[in-house]
Amino acid sequence: MDKQAKKINNKITLLFLSLTGFIAPCINLVYLPVLSTLAEDFNTTIPIITLGITLTLFPAGIGLFVGGSTSDFIGRKRVLIACFLIFNLATLGCIFTKDITIFLILRVAHAFVIRAALPTAFASLIDISNSSNRGKYLSVIIFALLSGVVIGPFLGGIISEMFGWRGIFVFLLIYGSIVNISYIFLKETNQNLKKVTFGKLIFSWIRPFKFLKNKICSVLVICQGISFASLMFIMICIPLIGKNVYNLTDSQIGLLYLPSGVGGLISSFLSGRIIDYFYTKKYQTLGSRLIIPVVGYMCFSVLLIAIGYTIKQNLILFMVQCFVFDFFYTSSMNGLQAFLFGLIPNETSSLSALLSLSESVFGFFSTQYGSMINHENLHLSYFGFFSLCIICALCLIIILRKYWNIKENDHNQHGKNDNTGVDGNRKQDNMENECTEIGDTRDILELKNIEQRTEKDSSKKSKQSQENQPIFNQNNLENEFN
């Protein structure tokens, strides 16, 4: 009965954790179709309104560092409740404020607390799962995340057209309140809380930066940031082109995001299996995980050029290109992360936070740039992103060649085999240390003298045996002759 009750409790916990996963991408994506509407209502420009997205990216990256590590010390439940309490208060402020500065500050608070709640939700999932059902539980939250990507923009456009843009934040307030109340009644999942000290807490926040010392890791982190910047540039151009060129409504602009979301959703299911096939059955090397990222970067680099020339010419063709672009982007991201997690094992959370921070930094500049450029020369900007992505693809090819013949287990044990040549010296040092613990250094000298004497005695005996051996053989031969 206890096991059955625990199983039911875990499923309920998983349900509310998946609600957290759904809302994480929605807070920005529901906001995209109404950029022009917000600019008119606040009597400001599109670049200023776009700050509501760009300013959220960097705090969101920091939130990923803070949330998961803090929950290790004070518990998952407290962090989740605090995050959604602040989220609801910030949402309430967004509903009633008429000042664009206050609105942007509240948006920053939105992003920080939701991104802090996301790794905490994943940590809670690890707490309640085991090796037999962990994959199933993870697939639920990942499906919720991708569903937020697909549904978020369309949902924002529909709500804005029916109730105005403030209706979006009313929806977020109701949603956040339900999740917040649910976490109050759920049990704490982390049963092994660490002793909290301010120093340990700060160190846990900055610890992921140490991996930037690894040159390969740094290159991969930059590549991930550039590819995400390309995606965000497309995302920010959609509502601006849809409003200014095609005169679309908010709900119609929201529909333009559906192909991109569906492409990423399909890729997330297919790419993982293909990457595992190359690694486990086909090539079985660490470098084989980069086959998909190399192909993906080259494909969506070409698509960037095509999108730049067709975004204002053919809307249907543009939507098809967005589907293909997001398909290759998601598969490349999955392959790059699989390689990085194999390169530096047992550091998944730190590396994930580092990749997310890179996406936030590059996405910040890309999104703000997309809202400020002259859309008459939009193809030139896409050519710039094409050039950066091609450089990333070339870097990945170099890394692939370096690790093509290296297996993951061999790479993880690489550092252990470097010191085997000095095992004899280490044994001798250990013997000397043992002697010094028992007596003093004279014992060592005496031992060495004894070894030298025995060696001399053995050498003398061997010489004598060599001298006597021929005589013995000669006498034997004479006897045999007689």
Looking at residue 190, its pLDDT comes to: 75
Q: Which residues of the chain have pLDDT under 50?
A: 1, 415-448, 450-451, 461, 463, 465-482
* Beta carbons within 8 Å of 262's beta carbon, 6+ residues apart: 150, 323
Looking at residue 131, its pLDDT comes to: 55
Angle (deg, nearest 10), helices 423-438 and 441-481: 120
For residue range 235-268, what is the model confidence (pLDDT) as tens digits?
A: 888 887 888 788 888 788 888 888 888 888 888 7
Return the CATH architecture of domain 208-408: Up-down Bundle (1.20)
**Looking at the chain, which residues constitute the CATH 1.20.1250.20 domain(s)?**
1-196, 208-408
Looking at residue 403, its pLDDT comes to: 87
Please check whether the domain covering 1-196 is classified as CATH 1.20.1250.20. yes
Please report, to the nearest 10 degrees, the dihedral formed by the alpha carbons of residues 44, 46, 47, 53 taken in order: 110
How many CB atoms sit inside 10 A of residue 84's CB? 26
pTM: 0.70
Looking at residue 469, its pLDDT comes to: 45
In angstroms, the CA 241 to CA 243 distance is 5
Looking at residue 430, its pLDDT comes to: 42
